[in-house]
Structure 1
Amino acid sequence: LEGKRVAVPMGTGAQYTFLQLMGYLKVDTSTMSIVDMAPAEGAAALSQGNVDMACGWGGALARMREFGNVLLTGAEKEAIGILSFDLITTTGDFAAGQPRLLADFVAVTAQANAAWNAGDRRDEMLSVIARDAGMETAVAGDTIDDFVFLSVDQLLSDAWLGGRVGTYLDGAAEFFRENGTVPEILPSYAALIDTGPLADVAGR
């Protein structure tokens, strides 16, 4: 990859992941031509041969796969300490002011994840997901199959919200501060993670 041209959406988690991945692979990014492109633009550039590598997510990532190969899977990245995850977040004021609503939301989300992971209602659930997302069922299925829906116990573990996610967020925040994406950061984002509602769902 050294000396190659790569499309990266700058100032995003994809840029952070890209730099971590290049560090792991011992690729000198100073030799690369890094072009700031949104995922859809990066996918188009890759399809046209204008870049050698592209970073992105969602539908653009599916497009990229038609013209290239995945360097490391999500599981492989996780194994070397590079996390990629989506979070549902809220403000502290809302969480404190609407504890019952928050608890119900977390519980329903956990039930939906468990139902999807069980697999016996896939077709039923996928038709609703595709409709609400405005996607064709097959496309929605291909997209969602790239996701892993963690159980409540997994989420509460040290590997995720119980420890590692907080450390990872602190590292990402420092990266964005150093690169001028954000002017200042908090001393710790790990301290803001409240697993109480999840622990309630788990009966702890």
Structure 2
Amino acid sequence: MTAVLAVSLTACGGDGDGKSEGAGGKGRVTIRIAYQEIPNADLVVKDRKLLEQALPDADVKWVKFDSGGDVNTAVIAGSVDFGLAGSSPVTKGLSAPLNIPYKVLWIHDLIGDNEALVARGGITDIKQLAGKKVATPFGSTAHYSLLAALQGAGVDPAKVNVIDLQPQDALAAWKRGDIDAAYTWTPTLGELEKDGKVLVTSRQLADQGKRTADLGVVTNKFAKDHPEVVTAWLKAEDQAVKLAKTDPAQAAASIAKQLNISPADAETQLKQLVLLDAAEQAGADYLGTPGAPGKLAQNLHDAAVFLKSQQKIDAVPDPSVFTAALAAEELSRARG
């Protein structure tokens, strides 16, 4: 595997924007990355230390979060520079009242069979969820998909007792018998499937026009101050995706170590996602190119319309907000 080109970095200042002071005002750049335990190529970048190899003069800090909503909170608090969040929390982040100043750099994956709605107790149809307790992390892609699934089945979400639980908390509640169903993702999903029934997957909802994805974001300030870091980050993610495509067993081995699961299970979970390399992401259906933004902006706007209908955001932003948030220029620069 070709090594990522190493970049030497120095920075001035210490104002909480990812830089650390050193002698004479010079210091090492600190890169704070919010990640989630999702079996995609981001875990390959982390496990194989691709970014650390590319940026030997930087301090790379990986911080685990349980959902995109939590990542948004961390970005607002100024505690992370890069983050992985689902398309639903990113849509919320770009909308009022949050209005987070970040941009979409990368599509970590198109969500498929790795997110699903699972029920127990003889529930075999979404319509049967009326009056039942259903867990999902609020503000996540799973939450968006749950609302879309209920709406598609003609079930008023107000008639379902939807409760806010992170994946591991949902699993614990499931084992106690406290909930009837959950919309969540792997690896927790795999545990629920052992004694539950899948009612719908995010891949099926995507086929119905409700596509979701896991996105990579970077704060506008960090992207402006450290364009060389953004380029290195994009190249590392692209390298990891290409490894997953050409040698999935190697990629799965890294994912398995990060998730503490078997390589076989990791490879199965990896196959449930759709991964795109940089060239594919520059296509018209995704991020696009400078001057020709991709359809991802429209997907995010459509999600905002839906979220507003469910009173999850204050107002639907103008489509230009989502267009401006696509980092097509940064992606183009990274592709060389």
Q: In structure 1, how many angstroms separate the alpha carbons of the residues matched to 2:174 and 2:153?
A: 21
RMSD: 3.0
User: 2:322 is matched with which residue?
Assistant: 189
Cα distance, 1:53 vs structure 2: 2.0
Which amino acid counterpart does residue 299 of structure 2 have in structure 1? Y
Cα distance, 1:179 vs structure 2: 6.2
Cα distance, 1:176 vs structure 2: 5.5
The reply on whether 1:58 has 2:172 as its aligned counterpart is no
The reply on whether 1:101 has 2:226 as its aligned counterpart is no
The correspondence for 1:34, drawn from 151, 157, 162, is 162
CA change 1:39–1:18 in 2 (3 A) is same
Which amino acid counterpart does residue 137 of structure 1 have in structure 2? S
Q: In structure 2, how many angstroms separate the alpha carbons of the residues matched to 1:70 and 1:101?
A: 41
Identity %: 23
Q: In structure 2, how many angstroms separate the alpha carbons of the residues matched to 1:30 and 1:129?
A: 38
Structure 1 segment 35-184 matched on structure 2, within 5 A? 35-118=163-246, 121-131=247-257, 133=258, 135-138=260-263, 139-162=265-288, 163-173=294-304
For structure 2, list consecutive stretches of 5 or more residues without a partner in the other structure: 1-125, 289-293
SS at match of 1:159: coil
Which amino acid counterpart does residue 328 of structure 2 have in structure 1? T
Check whether the contact 2:284–2:295 (CA below 8 A) recurs between aligned residues.
Answer: yes
Q: In structure 2, how many angstroms separate the alpha carbons of the residues matched to 1:87 and 1:137?
A: 26
CA change 1:156–1:22 in 2 (3 A) is farther
User: 1:198 is matched with which residue?
Assistant: 331
Check whether the contact 1:39–1:57 (CA below 8 A) recurs between aligned residues.
Answer: yes
Cα distance, 1:117 vs structure 2: 0.8
Cα distance, 1:113 vs structure 2: 0.6
Which amino acid counterpart does residue 170 of structure 1 have in structure 2? H
Q: In structure 2, how many angstroms separate the alpha carbons of the residues matched to 1:51 and 1:124?
A: 37
Say which structure is richer in helix.
1
SS at match of 2:216: coil
SS at match of 2:274: coil
Cα distance, 1:19 vs structure 2: 0.9
Check whether the contact 1:107–1:201 (CA below 8 A) recurs between aligned residues.
Answer: yes
Cα distance, 1:47 vs structure 2: 4.3
**Between 48-57 and 12-21, the greater mean CA deviation after superposition:** 48-57
Q: In structure 1, how many angstroms separate the alpha carbons of the residues matched to 2:229 and 2:179?
A: 47
Cα distance, 1:193 vs structure 2: 0.9
Say which structure is richer in strand.
2
Check whether the contact 1:47–1:67 (CA below 8 A) recurs between aligned residues.
Answer: no
For normalisation by structure 2, the TM-score amounts to 0.51
Which amino acid counterpart does residue 196 of structure 1 have in structure 2? E
Q: In structure 2, how many angstroms separate the alpha carbons of the residues matched to 1:158 and 1:72?
A: 28
SS at match of 2:163: strand
Cα distance, 1:39 vs structure 2: 2.2
Cα distance, 1:173 vs structure 2: 4.5
Q: In structure 1, how many angstroms separate the alpha carbons of the residues matched to 2:255 and 2:139?
A: 30
